[in-house]
Amino acid sequence: MAVSSLILPHGGTLVNRIPSGLLRENLLQSAQDLPRIVLDEPHRADLLMIGIGSYSPLTGFLNRHDYKAVVETMHLKNGLPWSIPITLPITEDQAYDLVLDQPVALTDEQGTILAVLEVEDIFPVDVEHEAQHVYRTTDGAHPGVARLYAAPRWRVGGAIWLLQVEQGAFPHLPRTPQEVRQSISDAGWRTVVGFQTRNPVHRAHEYIQKCALEVVDGLLLHPLVGTTKSDDVPAPARVRSYERLLREYYPANRVLLGVFPAPMRYAGPREAIFHALNRKNYGCTHFIVGRDHAGVGSYYGTYDAQYIFNEFDPTALGITPLFFEHTFYCQRCGAMASAKTCPHSHEHHVILSGTAVRALLSRGELPPPEFSRREVIEELIAA
- Residues marked active site are found at 198-199
Q: Is there a contact between 285 and 320 (Cβ–Cβ < 8 Å)?
A: yes
Distance (Å, rounded) from C-alpha 372 to C-alpha 204?
8
Q: Which residue, 45, 59, 61, is CA-closest to 262?
A: 45
User: Cis (ω within 30 of 0) for the bond into 57?
Assistant: yes
Q: Is there a contact between 199 and 113 (Cβ–Cβ < 8 Å)?
A: no
Q: Which residue, 148, 142, 131, is CA-closest to 299?
A: 142
What length does the chain have? 383
| Pairing mode, strands 113-118 and 154-162 | antiparallel
